[in-house]
Amino acid sequence: MLWLLEELNLPYEIKFYERDKATMLAPPELTAVHPLGKSPVVTDGELVVAESGAILEYLVDRYGQGRLKPAAEDQNALLRYRYWMHYAEGSVMPPLLMKLIFDRIERGPMPFFVKPIAKGIAAKVKGSFIQPNIDRHFNFIEAELSKSAWFAGDEFTAADVQMSFPLEAASARGGPAAKQPRVTDFLKRIHARPAYQQALARGGPYALMS
């Protein structure tokens, strides 16, 4: 979110909320902002916007002045833009999150007599369902990036910001994103953008899916 705010050159204030370390649930201060304790969440006056894709679309539509979104006349690019805005969290993030959960099951503390069973089940689910789905998604993404410089076409858009989350998450954990040359190139290019660097400087380093 900070990255897009920097790309749009908008003023903003950052508020950090500590989740409960034991339950990982939102603190009361965050549920006071949004009943589900959603993070990230943006407040703009009296308006509260949650969900990454909705936040990005709101900011671009409200403050973009035609920037970071394909022109209405370019229907093909606009369709691709909308597709990737929804694909990031609707399609590719779920198997990545499932892998994270089953990785934790394998490594988590449990009675010694249960551990071999739990590890066996986790390995079976990952090997037969989760990893094949992740591989299929990243092969698809790699192929799509061969069609244009950015996800929605030859111009950088908010769809690239949205797609950065799953790609960085997979890359950080040594997944297929680290082995796909076009995905790797995409990540290098976004990391080199001044607005990306400015967002890191203001928001600090962050860990994805850790």
Query: CA-CA distance, 113 to 209, in Å (whole number)?
Result: 29
- Given a cut of 90, whether residue 92 has pLDDT beyond it is yes
Instruction: Supply φ then ψ for residue 42, to 5 degrees.
Output: -120, 135
Coil vs helix vs strand at 95: helix
Report whether 85 contacts 159 (CB < 8 A): yes
Rounded alpha-carbon distances, angstroms, from residue 110 to 7, 81, 103, 119, 168? 46, 45, 14, 11, 31
What pLDDT is stored for residue 20 in this prediction? 78
- Given a cut of 70, whether residue 176 has pLDDT beyond it is no
Q: Model-level pTM?
A: 0.88
What pLDDT is stored for residue 209 in this prediction? 47
Q: What is the overall mean pLDDT for the chain? A: 90
What pLDDT is stored for residue 105 in this prediction? 86
Report whether 150 contacts 160 (CB < 8 A): yes
What pLDDT is stored for residue 174 in this prediction? 64
Q: Tens of pLDDT along 159-169?
A: 999 999 999 98
